[in-house]
Structure 1
Amino acid sequence: MNLNRSLSVKSFLRLVLCAFLFFTTFSRAQEQIAQEAFAEKVYLQLDKSVYQKGETLWFKVIVTQAKDHQPSPLSKTLHVELIDANDKIIDSKQIPLEQGVGSNSFELPYYYLAGAYQLRGYTEWNRNFKDAFTFKTQIQILEDKASQNTEVFKILNAGTAVAGNQLEVLIKPEFIDSTAGTTVDVHFEVAGNTKTYPVAKNEAGDFVFKKDIPQDAQWGELAVETPNGARHTEFYNLAKPNIDLQFFPEGGNFVAGITNLVGFKALDHTGKGVLVEGEVVDESGVVIGKFRSNSLGMGQLFLIPKKATKYQARLTKTDALYESKATTFFDLPEVSDQGTLLNVKLLRDKLLLSITSTEFINDSIAIQVASRGISNGKIYQKLNNGKLTLPVDKSNLPAGIIVFTLFDVNDKPLVERLYYNDLETQLLDLNISTDKLSYRSGEEVSAQLNITNFSKETALPTVSAVVVDSLFSAAQMGKSIQTYMLLSSELKGTIENATSYFDKSNTHRQRDLDALMLTQGYRNYKFISELNDDFDFEPELGLYVKGDVAALLAENKKKENVEVSLMIFGEQQSFYEQQTDSLGRFYFPLPPFTGNRLRAVLQTKNDAGRQRDYTLNLNKFERPEVHFKTQDKVNTTLASNAEFSDKIAKNPTDSFFDFDSSVNQLDEVVLDTYEMTPQRKKVQDLYGKPDVIFDGEEIRDKQESWSFGLFSVLRAAFGNEITFLPVTDSTGTYLKPRIQAGDETLILVDGITVRNYEYQLLQNLSTADIKSVEIIKETSSNYQDLFREANPFSDFNTVPAWGSILAIYTYSGNGIFTAYKSKGILKTTIPVYATSKEFYVPKYQNRENSTATNQLETTLYWNPDIIVDDAGTTHFSFYTNDLPGTKTILIEALSPSGKIGYSRYEYTVLEK
């Protein structure tokens, strides 16, 4: 059977794009489509933003068309990954999408280090748009006691620990290792350099680390490691306090002789907005305007600049931390002698577009109105003495960011202005209520949801509900489906306190939104690329196995019409066959298997059905590069955590004991270097230097005519350093290396962990592709984390604290799958969809059967698939736990037409 699946995918893609063009109608002929209009928006709703070790992270995924927020019919698979502060993907899942919706969870084991983590989600299709539509959010994982007092690091000179000064830190390693001993290693990375320092207890019994901070320092990474391998890392901003003040003329032009609206934004050294006041002066020092920002550092002012005049701004009031900036002058943009301005302002239910030009007097112009890369057409008008005022009904435009672009008669763009159209009629109106406003611990809460403007929808929306202690609510992070879909997904960079722009109690939110559009939206709008229908990545239509077949001794010569069989070993065996296409490709679409990974065997045959030794190549899924910004890793302790800690901690820890500022500190340890590659550096930084190195040439010199791969050569020629034990398991029979008796040897290929279900691939590695083989003996540095990654489905109750590592480096440099080339048969494992589990809702009528964990759980209710009736109404119930305080109910929804719904409701649990 010749299934040319790749061509089928391309045909499907062409149909989708044609439908996209056909159904996107404008008031005039099609004017503009940006490449990004074809993207998918990915949103992950989390049950909360702060977790304790041992908890479950629950999430729901929603994938929409970027152009209209309707559920995307394109991708059927979403990739979700959990990334630690070392930029390492520590867990990942494939989530099946049904009408753009799915849900699942991540376990957060006790062995995870406390600190910041990144959760990201993306579709393969969205990789056509680089990183623009990858969803990213940060979470915090606390120690299991969730106590603010269990600080492993305490900065003793927090007010002065900046570049050019000294860092002084009190370290409490007993919080990560109760048997830490009297000496620990401190790893300090700053300005791109990492050094290791052994620190011993001083006379007062304290670990105190002191180190000068370089003048050019921005961010610092501090890690403590105990002799048992326990490690804790935190990130700090070490830059000197500073303010950067920038000015953004409306539309980009700062024109002499006419009134200009100018936005401005003040950021501190951490990248956050800071409230400022100041004034603008000309070259003679004459004040021509004053300004004051909002709490996020943004604002606007009107100026009438003169020709050939330079303008600067100075601060007159800000936080005392930045007093030195009062003498600093900040340049405004250069004044243009002639130009055109486009001003947009709200007047009741109308948007008033005002054009003023000193270069076009009575000319014809066109105003294009676009949203999310789709033009809604152009409005053609004529200037009268260089001016034009035009009202536009805002209700006729989409909700969210609108782009107004002014063109001259030759269709040349003159000026562009972003405006946020705050239109509640295009949002779902969600109303939450409970049967009472306050409850006793363990009492049942009955909640009702009503979507009041749902009647015009043709199908039911997707609705989710989460109830969580307000302290840990995801809303605390300023993120929701509303802020993401309408703001964050369309503007580059972090939008600080995004929920404030949608808070109806914020009487200045329209002004703040406009300031955001004038400043952050000035250069950071995502829908800007010219249309190009040549996409590098195809949408994933489900699970699949694909690759190609080549001649054995000529890999560039692809083989057409070769029979390829695929056998998958799950609960039941599955068998598939097909022929390669004209380019030697095969593509096996698979059912929606769930679980972990499944063992699979591929084999090539000739026309007579006999095995042929062709080269089988599998297309390996390439994960996007990790972008976890240092500022997002900075330790952010909850300001109001103390009260919660008192309630949740079963064994309160003592506060920091007194310390002696004198330090008993050993000399700096500087490791010798050898010829370094990125892969070797990664391994050395994580696990230490190699004790034994076998060069690839040396290995090939030892190869005999009867050798059958790398392991056979190592076993015969270097048996004094490494032995091999035969192992038989569900993946087959293979050789497992062991460096030293009594330890567990783990394997890395090009710095990439080889998992236990991949070991059977190792013995056939060709020596021709080997650069070196290196042995690290008895290492404890990060060994436990590596063990868990290499054995993902094992019981982690007894994880060894130390062991050996066999590090293999290949010339290809991309791990085991690019080094391994099969001959007519390929044994492998394939990823499948993650198995989902249900959220357990405890009932507290029977108190003796309720575990302490459940009673202290901060997520009280999670339901990613709430069903509403035809009237948009539903009821749900849950029980409070033993933690008094304010609880938050969050409802997020999306209708089939692309309407977004978000609502937040709070109730109180009383003290016992």
Structure 2
Amino acid sequence: MKKNTIYFSVNLIFIFLLFITQITYSQEDKEKSILKEKLNNYFNLSRENIYLHFNKETYISDETIWFKGYVIDKSNGSLNLETTNVHICLLDAQKKVLDTKLFLSSFGTISGSWDLDKNLSSGTYYIHAFTNFMNNFEENESSIFELEVLNSKEFSLSEVYDPLENVIIELNPEGGNIIFECDNKIGVKIKDCKGNGIKINNIKVLDSKNNMVNQFSTNNQGYGAFQILNTKNEPYKISIESNNSKIEKTLPNVNIEGINLNCNNSLNNENITIEIKTNSFTLDKIKNKKFKLLVHKNNEFIFSEIEINKSTEKIILSKNDLFEGVNFLRLLDEKNNSISERVIYNHFDNNNTLIFNKVKIENDSLILRGKIKTAGNLSISSLPEKTSSTYESNSIVSALKLNNYLLSPIENYPYYFEDFNRNKNFELDLALLNQKTLKYDWTNILTKQPKNTYEFQKGVNISITLNQILPKNSNSVFTGNLIIPSEKTIITESMNNKDEFVFKNVILRDSTEIVFSLNSNDKKYNRQINSVARVFNNFTRVKIPEINYCRSSSFIKKDYQNLEFPINNKTIQLKNVEVIKRREEMKLNNTAQNKMARGIKINPETENLSLLQFLVKNGYNVTSTPTLVKVYNIGMTKANGSPSEPVILIDDFPLTDLTILRDYNSSDVDEIYFNKFDNSNRTINNETGSIKIYLRRDIAVKKYTTKGLKVNRITNAFEIEKTFLNPYDSNYNSEAFKKHGTIDWIPNILTDNNGYFQIKTPILEQEKILFNIQGIDNEGNLYFENIVINVKE
């Protein structure tokens, strides 16, 4: 009987434990499901982040700003292939918008430029980049970049100020609280009004009786931290003394109750140590209560339920279990309220090393070859070694891996990430400790869900309004054709009830010429249509991020005219003028087939032959009858002995009826390429070789104007992509050029599948050249390097 009782009891215990375990797992699954739902809902809409790589950081007022834009999908860190419309603004130092332009993002990148007004005053300016879709979020996902402009025709008033005169001091308790009878760690951020860190030694921490309880210093970036052991319920302050001046800053109030989350992220490379601290007053009230330690990045998360049974609970987390880059740590109570928070950076070594070396000197240029981990997209600025552009605050890595998750950007990428080690990790963690507020507010995550209110814009909308009354029958249905000759595109839309045609999501560059024609189901309108074309691309401007701005009552004059700026080749010089007419360069000779062809750039002022006569002049036989045109290769026959024929293409479209060639003169042609061995465009007629004809830009439009159709030139569309042109053609050894000039700007470098690339850049009399290389590969790895190449070695 006794054995049976024991057996029964053991089974009861087993069933009870199994029941409790199932309840526990069930509860954890429920909590996990709630957190998953909240995070998924909040980060459901795709968030874009934009980085602009500039050719330099200081510009002369009549120069062009050149930049390469990288647009990523924040959820995976890869280029956002869906983004097209990117709005970019130029702001002055007071955040006044001077101008806004629309740029096209193609496959996640932008190649852009901005011509500065020659009358801009010297000073600080900002570039603000955003999309309309960013307005859907509580957080500001836009990007802002600082640039300096020098007006060489004016004296500039440069501010002279005592760094402590407009000092900004922030005191940031780790975890967000200062708790009575606890050891509290307080971060300190000291910056000047321009956002530059101030290094200060021997800063005193004083209690209410002015007794010094600790002493600390800030580093070169203006960050520091100190502890107050066994904190009393009294006011504390820090005291800074410098140059006979004294600044004091009071700490936040001490809380009698509370819980703090402290983190040590630089102890070793494998783990982070988390300490959850509280006091006896709080312990009595949280007995048997469940807490959750949550770690998340975007909508991904891990969490663990914990109990707090003593004043200090220590938790070890493996860095392999955390997310790459920024991680948000939150201590949640039973109702999922956040009671203590911290942000850390988990550095992953992805072996994404960039190799870049000189290959040879070719005439007056350098040939260089490089390699990244895998196929990628890069941009390179080539600058004199003594350039004033350091790119310390303009790095794609810090912009798209770190600062896009922070409210207060951390400047100076090389200081933290170049040769990353334990000390660098400590310095970076100190800067993150001083993030006063986390960018993603936990209350918003719990209570709000972003709505798709602001459109994810793709292209521009074109409205064609008719200013005439159309003859309508009861069954009349009108359609309009938007013809874009330069793109060889026709888009058709029906007329709406306002007698207008709206063509949506059209990708058009500024100044593109379009033609509109009208059709109906009972009549074709092939005549002049009285209409007005208008581009509309309504967008909401994203709020401009906070910018530090300070004034000073003390100034000094800088005479930029004495800096011997290089002569800008935009300017007409009246002394020793020699007029040289440059031969126009071929535009299309870099394509795979055209490289092997004989290309001719046609001057419309000197060519007066018909196109068929021009073909005869260049080694072809032509037969022309009233109903037929044939073009034959000379000296190349088919297998049956008959003369072979080349395939003929106009603007890369193969012709099936060659009688159209009668309509053109050779002066209508911009470039023509002859290749008797190119069979890549062969059709079913088994042609031999090719003739590729590229018409002048205005010729295609003339076809429509001769039919009486109205031609409109589009404005307010996407900015035209330009090829870099160095505005200076002399004084390459002047101090001004060495500090503020650009040797070359190469924005669009696509590597091969293995990550190899090669560039050619002019030397411009420089002995050493600094190459700033930035970009992203197909795995989302980011690259930033400043590499100096000795030209003579």
TM-score of the two chains, using structure 2 as the length reference: 0.64
Q: How far did residue 542 of structure 1 move?
A: 2.6
1:536 counterpart = 2:453: yes
Q: How far did residue 570 of structure 1 move?
A: 6.3
Q: 1:110 to 1:151 in 2, by over 3 A?
A: closer
Q: 1:376 to 1:130 in 2, by over 3 A?
A: closer
Whether the aligned pair in 2 keeps the contact of 1:342 and 1:416 (CA below 8 Å) is: yes
Whether the aligned pair in 2 keeps the contact of 1:883 and 1:909 (CA below 8 Å) is: yes
Distance 1:32 1:297 in 2: 34
Q: Which residue of 2 aligns with 1:710?
A: none
Q: Which residue of 2 aligns with 1:165?
A: none
* Aligned partner of residue 81 in structure 1, secondary structure: strand
Q: Which residue of 2 aligns with 1:324?
A: 245
Q: Which residue of 1 aligns with 2:371?
A: 450
1:56 counterpart = 2:67: no
Using the TM superposition, name which of 517-526 and 409-418 deviates more. 517-526
Whether the aligned pair in 2 keeps the contact of 1:605 and 1:612 (CA below 8 Å) is: no
Distance 2:55 2:433 in 1: 33
Structure 1 counterpart of 2:294, one-letter code? Q
* Aligned partner of residue 320 in structure 2, secondary structure: helix
Q: Which residue of 1 aligns with 2:509?
A: 594
Q: Which residue of 1 aligns with 2:292?
A: 366
TM-score of the two chains, using structure 1 as the length reference: 0.56
Q: Which residue of 2 aligns with 1:32?
A: 39
Q: How far did residue 527 of structure 1 move?
A: 8.6
Alignment of 1:359-398 (within 5 A): 359=282, 360=286, 363-371=289-297, 373-398=298-323
* Aligned partner of residue 454 in structure 2, secondary structure: coil
1:513 counterpart = 2:452: no
Q: Which residue of 2 aligns with 1:260?
A: 184
CA-to-partner distance for each residue in 1:203-260, whole Å, 9 max, x for gaps? xxxxxxxxxxxxxxxxxxxxxxxxxxxxxxxxxxxx9914343321111011112211
Larger Rg belongs to: 2
Distance 2:503 2:59 in 1: 40
Q: How far did residue 113 of structure 1 move?
A: 4.4
Q: Which runs of 5+ in 2 are unaligned?
A: 1-31, 470-475, 570-709
Q: Which residue of 2 aligns with 1:224?
A: none
Distance 2:529 2:762 in 1: 63
Aligned match of 2:721 in 826, 836, 845? 836
Q: 1:585 to 1:511 in 2, by over 3 A?
A: farther
Structure 2 counterpart of 1:267, one-letter code? K
Distance 1:126 1:42 in 2: 11
CA-to-partner distance for each residue in 1:314-358, whole Å, 9 max, x for gaps? 12x44x2xx322xx4321111111211211113312111222233
Q: Which residue of 1 aligns with 2:25?
A: none
Q: How far did residue 644 of structure 1 move?
A: 11
Q: Which residue of 2 aligns with 1:119?
A: 127
Distance 2:559 2:414 in 1: 22
Q: 1:159 to 1:39 in 2, by over 3 A?
A: closer
* Aligned partner of residue 39 in structure 2, secondary structure: coil
Q: How far did residue 592 of structure 1 move?
A: 2.9
Structure 1 counterpart of 2:210, one-letter code? G
Distance 1:131 1:396 in 2: 27
* Aligned partner of residue 881 in structure 1, secondary structure: coil
Whether the aligned pair in 1 keeps the contact of 2:732 and 2:765 (CA below 8 Å) is: no
1:428 counterpart = 2:343: no
* Aligned partner of residue 203 in structure 2, secondary structure: strand
Q: 1:408 to 1:853 in 2, by over 3 A?
A: same
Q: Which residue of 2 aligns with 1:341?
A: 260
Q: How far did residue 405 of structure 1 move?
A: 0.5
Q: How far did residue 575 of structure 1 move?
A: 6.3
Distance 2:532 2:757 in 1: 57
Alignment of 1:750-761 (within 5 A): none
Q: 1:901 to 1:498 in 2, by over 3 A?
A: closer
* Aligned partner of residue 406 in structure 2, secondary structure: coil
Q: How far did residue 104 of structure 1 move?
A: 2.4
* Aligned partner of residue 209 in structure 2, secondary structure: coil
Q: Which residue of 1 aligns with 2:378?
A: 463
Aligned match of 1:351 in 247, 265, 272? 272
Q: How far did residue 404 of structure 1 move?
A: 0.4
Q: 1:82 to 1:647 in 2, by over 3 A?
A: closer
Q: How far did residue 896 of structure 1 move?
A: 2.9
Q: 1:582 to 1:412 in 2, by over 3 A?
A: farther
Q: Which residue of 2 aligns with 1:892?
A: 774
Q: How far did residue 540 of structure 1 move?
A: 1.6
Q: How far did residue 44 of structure 1 move?
A: 1.0
Q: 1:104 to 1:826 in 2, by over 3 A?
A: closer
Q: 1:75 to 1:868 in 2, by over 3 A?
A: closer
Whether the aligned pair in 1 keeps the contact of 2:132 and 2:539 (CA below 8 Å) is: no
CA-to-partner distance for each residue in 1:870-908, whole Å, 9 max, x for gaps? 332223232311355x53212212123322121221134
Q: Which residue of 2 aligns with 1:882?
A: 765
Distance 2:455 2:441 in 1: 21
1:76 counterpart = 2:1: no
Structure 2 counterpart of 1:832, one-letter code? A
Structure 2 counterpart of 1:64, one-letter code? I
Tell me the percent identity: 19
Distance 2:543 2:329 in 1: 34
Q: How far did residue 512 of structure 1 move?
A: 2.3
Q: 1:581 to 1:868 in 2, by over 3 A?
A: same
Q: Which residue of 2 aligns with 1:852?
A: 730
Structure 2 counterpart of 1:867, one-letter code? L
Distance 1:431 1:66 in 2: 27
Whether the aligned pair in 1 keeps the contact of 2:87 and 2:101 (CA below 8 Å) is: yes
* Aligned partner of residue 252 in structure 1, secondary structure: coil
Whether the aligned pair in 2 keeps the contact of 1:356 and 1:388 (CA below 8 Å) is: yes
Distance 2:493 2:175 in 1: 57
CA-to-partner distance for each residue in 1:468-499, whole Å, 9 max, x for gaps? 12444653452110121123322224544344
Alignment of 1:478-877 (within 5 A): 478-504=393-419, 508-524=423-439, 529-530=444-445, 531-545=448-462, 565=480, 567=482, 576-579=491-494, 588-589=503-504, 591-596=506-511, 598=513, 621-622=538-539, 624=541, 627=544, 645=563, 648=566, 829-839=714-724, 851-852=729-730, 858-877=741-760
Q: Which residue of 1 aligns with 2:223?
A: 298
CA-to-partner distance for each residue in 1:828-886, whole Å, 9 max, x for gaps? 955333322333599xxxxxxx94278869322322222323332223232311355x5
Q: Which residue of 2 aligns with 1:417?
A: 342
Aligned match of 2:51 in 32, 43, 47? 43
1:404 counterpart = 2:319: no
Q: 1:382 to 1:586 in 2, by over 3 A?
A: farther
Distance 1:626 1:404 in 2: 28
Distance 1:548 1:406 in 2: 59
Structure 2 counterpart of 1:32, one-letter code? L
Q: How far did residue 576 of structure 1 move?
A: 4.8
Q: How far did residue 601 of structure 1 move?
A: 7.1
Whether the aligned pair in 2 keeps the contact of 1:564 and 1:603 (CA below 8 Å) is: yes
- How many residues are aligned here? 595
Structure 1 counterpart of 2:344, one-letter code? Y
Aligned match of 2:233 in 303, 308, 327? 308
Q: Which residue of 2 aligns with 1:14?
A: none
Distance 1:639 1:479 in 2: 28
* Aligned partner of residue 514 in structure 1, secondary structure: helix
Whether the aligned pair in 2 keeps the contact of 1:446 and 1:876 (CA below 8 Å) is: yes
Distance 1:638 1:909 in 2: 38
Q: How far did residue 619 of structure 1 move?
A: 5.3
Distance 1:826 1:872 in 2: 45
